[in-house]
Amino acid sequence: MSSSTDQKITAPYGSWASPITSDVVSGAAKGLGGSAVDDKGQLFWLESRPTESGRSVLVRGGSDENEEASDVTPKEFSVRTVAQEYGGGAFSISGETLVFSNYKDQRLYKQSIDSKDSAPLPLTPDYGGPSVSYADGVYDTPLNRFIAVREDRRESSLNAITSIVSIALGDNSIQEPKVLVEGNDFYAFPRLDPHGKRLAWIEWSHPNMPWDKSELWVGYISDTGGSRQPRLMANNEFHKIKQRFYHCLLAAGELFFVTDRKNGFWNLHRWVESDNTVAPLYSLEAEFAGPLWVFGMNSYEIIKEHKNLIACNYRQKGRSYLGILDKNKNTLSVLETPFTDLRNITSGVRCLYVEGASGVHPTSIAKVTLDDQASNVVDFKIVWSSSPTSSEYKSYFSSPEFIEFPTEVPGEMAYAYHYPPTNPVYQASQQEKPPLLLKSHGGPTAEARGILNLNIQFWTSRGWAFVDVNYGGSTGYGRAFRERLLGKWGIVDVDDCCSCAQFLVNSGKADAERLCITGGSAGGYTTLAALAFKKSFKAGASLYGVADLKLLKEETHKFESRYMDNLVGGDKEFFDRSPINFVNQFSCPIILFQGLEDKVVPPDQARKIYQALKAKRLPVALVEYEGEQHGFRKAENIKFTLEQQMVFFARLVGHFKVADEIVPVKIDNFD
């Protein structure tokens, strides 16, 4: 009897046909910008749609299985803020009122969610352009106003003025927002107690990023609505620590927040006003929060029916867990769900809505129904999926394998997710090792996560091995791992990516002669640095990547303008680690993709590296997209980028012909 393996078609790695096409990938690339529950327990979520040029739409979930979800946002609006360029926290719901940021003009609008024909009404002034943005807002019900972070770029787009402001909700007249807190470089998470008596927030200043050092403050709301007697939640030892605040005053005299002050991991803490003490709710070598790249993140919530219980998620060694923390007993219990990756949590009526994913689930929202004691899951149901048809391709899915690999520093390990080539129809000969595409994530303070991503499955189902690396500097593994990158960006990340590729070669899982590297933004920088300073990879793709660190520092937006001071060092390091200054050391083909409206990594970066490599007679291609910013949101551009990377690698290092009909872009010094 022949085995199923014998019945497969034998063909070279990389040449396999797959139903997971670029159209499937680009159509499944819906993003999630947060979720909320109204007073009636109705779920709302914000989804970005590549098929609508990246428009972000607030959607109301059906009240039962028979009612379909419906759009709340009118066609001429898009719910998105560009505060700190990365946005987030673009909408908030209270009662029947929705307040949201509109992408085109960046003004705040008020809309009734009860009426399907409700037209949004502007709340903030028209300044003649999208020069003032708002994010991360909360309702101050007693004073009928909205409190939010404001980023004002009217005087300088590179040195915006950030503050916490209040916006009147009472009548339909448009008033200038009232400044409540100002004077520092950055603010986030303005949160009120239930009675509107106290306002808490975090703030930080250059050259720090919020995960380097930030301060937690509480002010008292005066009768006229101002913030008075601001109090730093910090005694002599506390104000110097690295800390992260995440939430609001949830009970009289209690403030919950996240800090890594004790054990080097972001754990939940509580401040008790009556005796001015701070203590961890539960200590664990796990991360109960992520880095503040976007506003509005929410990794824990008080359970509505049990005020002593906090639903939370945490990450430990590459996996997420959904937990219930009893703040009175300081105990933590774990709830079982199919998700291995979790992000935001929203508390519903006798349920939780959790944003999550796994190796077989794409990014989704699940309704997690709890028992009366909130100690067990009685029902788990996915109510929204970024790719609702992805299960059709399940037999083609490559499961992520979590790996630890040795770095160049003796005794130090780094982490990655390895996806082997997988296709039920094809196999390669036993003598052949697969080509490998290594992805270096952005940030660089971010984290690769082992979830179903059809972009990755596009490669693996065609016979590529794929590895997503968490190099030193990534989050999810504690402060010590994150701070490996301080002063060493362009060294530790590059070394770890090369070490990971070599580890897979040594393990027999990749062909040493067909190692390719790709990355976007900071991952694009790691890609270019690896190609300039190492010889591990045979080709690379940089998506809106950094080529010139000095130019980036001079041109990028305020939020990240001093980020590199801690990551790189002085002028010499800025020069020595910029790939553009060492074009003579490049020795392999590179393809570059760039949005022409990118404010984070301006287009000159890609153009400089392209011209230099073209002059050096290396195979190089540059693809520029009108209307795209930092990251590609339009379906046609997501599709084109994926296809062109694959055919570029196939033509130049793959030694195979791709099964898809793709017209390649012209490659200078090759075609």
pLDDT value at position 243? 45
d(CA 136, CA 138): 7
pLDDT value at position 4? 56
pLDDT value at position 251? 53
d(CA 451, CA 339): 9
Q: Are 355 and 344 in contact (CB under 8 A)?
A: yes
pLDDT value at position 51? 85
pLDDT value at position 2? 43
pLDDT digits (tens, 9 = 90+) for 107-117: 999 999 987 77
pLDDT band per the 50, 70, 90 thresholds, residue 239: very low
Return the residue matching tokens 């590729």: 501
pLDDT band per the 50, 70, 90 thresholds, residue 196: confident
pLDDT value at position 252? 54
Please, which residues have CB within 8 angstroms of residue 132's CB and are 6 or more apart in sequence? 106, 107, 124, 150, 151, 152, 153, 154
- Give me the residue spans of the domains in the chain: 9-19+397-653, 184-297
Query: Which stretch of 100-114, 317-331, 400-414, 628-642 has the lowest confidence by average pLDDT?
Result: 628-642
Q: How far is CA 398 from the centre of its chain?
A: 22
Would residue 185 be called left, alpha or beta, if left means φ above 0 and alpha means ψ between -120 and 50 degrees?
Answer: alpha
| pLDDT reading at 247 higher than 70 | no
| pLDDT reading at 246 higher than 80 | no
pLDDT digits (tens, 9 = 90+) for 480-497: 999 999 999 999 999 999
Token pair of 50 as six digits? 């590549």
Q: Are 14 and 463 in contact (CB under 8 A)?
A: yes
d(CA 431, CA 180): 68
Dump strand ranges (E) for 570-633. 590-595, 620-625
pLDDT value at position 233? 67
* Count of residues making up the chain: 671
Share of the chain above pLDDT 70, in %: 96
pLDDT value at position 242? 42
Burial zone of 179 (CB within 10 Å; 0-12 exposed, 13-18 middle, 19+ buried): middle
Work out the average pLDDT over 307-320. Answer: 94
DSSP character string of 220-236: EE-TTS-EEEEEES--T
d(CA 28, CA 389): 8
Q: How far is CA 204 from the centre of its chain?
A: 20
Return the residue matching tokens 């560009």: 82
pLDDT digits (tens, 9 = 90+) for 644-667: 999 999 999 988 999 999 999 999
**Could you say which of 3.40.50.1820, 3.30.420.480, 3.30.70.1230, 3.30.70.3270 is the CATH number of the domain covering 9-19+397-653?**
3.40.50.1820
Residue type, 149: V
d(CA 121, CA 74): 12
| pLDDT reading at 273 higher than 80 | no
Please, which residues have CB within 8 angstroms of residue 576's CB and are 6 or more apart in sequence? none
Burial zone of 230 (CB within 10 Å; 0-12 exposed, 13-18 middle, 19+ buried): middle
| pLDDT reading at 195 higher than 90 | no
pLDDT value at position 6? 67
